[in-house]
Structure 1
Amino acid sequence: MRTYRYKVQTSSYGLFLGITAEAIQLNAPPTSRNQVSDRVWLDTGRVHHAYSGRKLALNGQEVTWLHLGLREYTESIELGAPGSYVLIIIHALEVVDADYAEAALAPALAKWTEAEFGLAPRSGRINRDSTTGELTFSWDERPQ
Structure 2
Amino acid sequence: MIDPHCHTSSIKVNKPAEVVFDLMSDGVKQGGWAWGSFDREDVGDGIFAGTSVFNGVRTFVRLDADRARLLVDYDVGPSKSALRFRNSARVLPGATLGHAADSCVVTLMTWRLADQDDAGWTQISTVHEAEMYLIRGLAERDPQ
- TM-score (norm. length: structure 2): 0.32
The structure where helix makes up a greater share of residues is 2
- TM-score (norm. length: structure 1): 0.32
